[in-house]
Every structure is written in structure tokens, then in C-alpha cells.
Amino acid sequence: MIVSESSPAHRVVVVIIEGALVMDVGIPLQVFADRPGFPYQLRVCAETAGIVNTSSGIGMSVPFGLEALEDADTVIVPGFAPASRPTPLPVCEALVAAHARGARIVSICYGAFALAEAGLLEGLRATTHWEAVGEFAHRYPNVQVEPDVLFVDEGSVLTSAGVAAGLDLCLYIVRKDLGAKAATEIARRLVTAPRRSGGQSQFIPTAGVDIGAGTSLDDLRAWAAQHLGERLTVRQLAERANLSTRTFERRFAAETGTTPHRWLLRARLDAARLLLEDTDLPIDRIAGQVGLGTGANLRLHFRRSFEVSPVEYRRTFTSMSSSE
């Protein structure tokens, strides 16, 4: 037994929105399923009870309407597609009311758009699938977008990236609620790793996801991405852009949401990831090719950014390739 049979039920409600992503829906249904010894009591709802169409064209039978949120302890909004699909006003109002009452509000993948539409992410950090972070940042400028983490915990509101990150977040919630033993038991049943840190990066397949692409320094960033192995200084980049250093730094930050130094470091790490995925080059040689100098320097920054070593990262993708 993880908890006593007399423990009060923790009511988890999953809100299905038109165009729901089937795999996103399945994650909380698996993690928070009613199990002996666990306190979770699971319900599924939609704007109205009945059949809800998913993005896969499959109709999903939903037994409850939004009244299910009235006594929910945790509310989970799975992703839906397209991400630009408007969130129905009654859903937004029900989410706001649940949050005001003290419920924990959680999103998986594009579900963050519903939380932002309801105003629950104003002034907070949040994440979503890496493909949509640009659109998300544009639509919700008062939300601090974390484009490359697995999930973000802001206390009463939590958001996650794509499918696997949604599973990581759900197990993280179990760990917070019931402890590591409970989360490990559920993870074992689902045949998945019991823990990945929320700060670990999403495994984005392209270098440098810029928030605010299509802006005046795009050509410069494209050039820099082709010359990462060279010594690149902020002054050199500013001169190439025909700007003073101060103006360049200000404009760069406005267009990308970060500093030139941090952008260069991230671009170099992304280039290193691609070489780790696609080649068997030694770590020292990869470090030199991407402009990080030594293998020790690459290892230091790689672990700080992704919470895994370059060798562990390469092993992950080698395993993926061998299992295909």
C-alpha cells in the first residue's frame, strides 16, 4: 500500500477539448488511473458530455460536462490541434473558477494555449511543444516562455512540453503528492523512467529555436550558425550588422529574448547535439568544431544545459536508432 485506504480521494479531472491529441489524453488516464492503495479518483470531462472529436478523427466518448471541475483537486488539459484552435469560453471560465477555488491546473503540450487563453499564465513561466513556442510567445507576450525545458512548475499551475514531457510532469506530480516510491511504482507499470528533471531540455531537432523569427538580424544569426567553430565576439557581430555594440545587444535581445553570448552558447550546444546524434566523432573534436574549445568545456556546458553528459546523450540516440 502506498497510502492508507482511509486517505481522502484526490479528484483528478481531465478536460478534453475538440481536436484533442489522443496520446496526450492517454497519459493522465494511465498515470492517475484508479488503483488500490492510491488516492486518485479520475474523471474525464468536456464542455458538454458526449462525443468529442480528436485530431486523429476518432470520436472520444466523454461522460461528464464542466460540472466535473467544481470539486476537482487537479485539473489536466491535454494538448489539442491545431494549437491555434480557440478555447471555448465556458472551458476558460471553468478553469479560472477551479483555480480560484484552489485546484491545481496542469497542461500537456498545446494544452498550455488553453491555460494562457484563460489568463492563468499571466506573469508566469510556462512551456509547450517546441514547435509552437514562437506562436505562443507572440500570442501571449505576458507569459515568460521557457522554450526548451520538459516542464515548468509554478506552484498551482504547471505546464509541459510534448507527449513524453507530459508523462514526466504527471509522474513528477505523483512524486510531489505521494513520494518517490509511488511514482516509481507507477512508472514501472508503464515501463518508463521514473524521473527526468523538468529543467532537462526538450530534444529539439534543429538548432536555436528563435522567438521572433523573421526579424532584421535573421541573416546575421544564419551566418553565425555557419561559423560556430570560429572565435565570434559580440563586437564582431555588431560590426557585421553595421550597428553599435549597445544597439546590437538591445536589438538582439528584443528579437530573440536572450543575449548574443547566450544565443551563441546555445547554438554551439545544439550543433554539438547534432554531431553526437549523427556521428561517432570524439568529444574533443566535436568541441573544437562547434567553437567550445575543449571536451571538458563541452561537458561542463552540456550537463548544465541538458542535465546529461554528451556520452549519455549520444547513448540515448544510439538506443533510439537501434530500436527502429
Q: What is the mean pLDDT of residues 281-285?
A: 95
Percent of the chain exceeding pLDDT 90 equals: 59
Higher per-residue confidence, 213 vs 25: 25
For 44-53, what is each residue's pLDDT tens digit? 999 999 999 9
Using 50, 70 and 90 to split pLDDT, how confident is the model at 259?
A: confident
- The C-alpha angle 194, 195, 201, rounded to 5 degrees, equals 140
Asked if the bond preceding 147 is cis, omega within 30° of 0, the reply is no
Query: In the predicted model, is pLDDT for residue 209 greater than 70?
Result: no
- Cell output for 141: 507576450
- Taking the whole predicted model, whether its pTM rises above 0.75 is answered as no
Sorted by where each begins, the domain ranges of the chain are 10-190, 218-323
Number of C-alpha atoms within 13 angstroms, CB side, residue 3? 19
Instruction: Band the pLDDT of 8: cuts 50, 70, 90.
Output: confident
Closest CA to 99 of 81, 79, 75: 75
Q: What residue type is assigned to position 91 of the chain?
A: V
Q: Choose among 164, 170, 126, 17: nearest CA to 81.
A: 17
Looking at the predicted structure, is the pLDDT value of residue 198 above 50?
Answer: no
pLDDT digits (tens, 9 = 90+) for 293-312: 999 999 999 988 877 899 98
Task: State the pairing for strand pair 104-107/157-160.
Answer: parallel
Say how far apart CA 32 and CA 44 lie, in whole Å.
Answer: 11
Query: Distance (Å, rounded) from C-alpha 232 to C-alpha 229?
Result: 9
Residue 141 has pLDDT above 80, yes or no: yes
Out of 26-40, 198-212, 238-252, pick the least confident.
198-212
What torsion, rounded to 10 degrees, do the Cα atoms 180, 184, 190, 192 define? 100
218-323 CATH fold: Arc Repressor Mutant, subunit A (1.10.10)
Give the DSSP letter string of 297-319.
HHHHHHHHHHSS-HHHHHHHHHH
The pLDDT value given to residue 318: 61
> H-helix or E-strand containing 288?
helix 283-289
Mean pLDDT for the stretch of residues 63-86: 95
> Cα Rg for the chain, rounded, in angstroms?
22
Q: Tell me whether domains 10-190 and 218-323 share a fold.
A: no
* Region 92-98 average pLDDT: 98
CATH number for the 10-190 domain, one of 3.40.50.880, 3.40.640.10, 3.30.1600.10, 3.30.1360.120? 3.40.50.880
DSSP states of 4-49 as a string?
-TTSPPEEEEEE--TTB-HHHHHHHHHHT---TT--EEEEEE-SSS
Which of 182-186, 253-257, 305-309 is the least confident region? 253-257
pLDDT band at 6 (very low <50, low <70, confident <90, very high): low
Listing DSSP states for 140-151 in one string gives: -TTSEE-TTBSE
137-156: b (≥16 Cβ within 10 Å) or e: beebeebbbbbbbbbbbeee
Q: How much is the average pLDDT of 208-215?
A: 42
Residue 43 has what pLDDT?
97
Specify the amino acid at residue 123.
G
- pLDDT score recorded for residue 196: 52
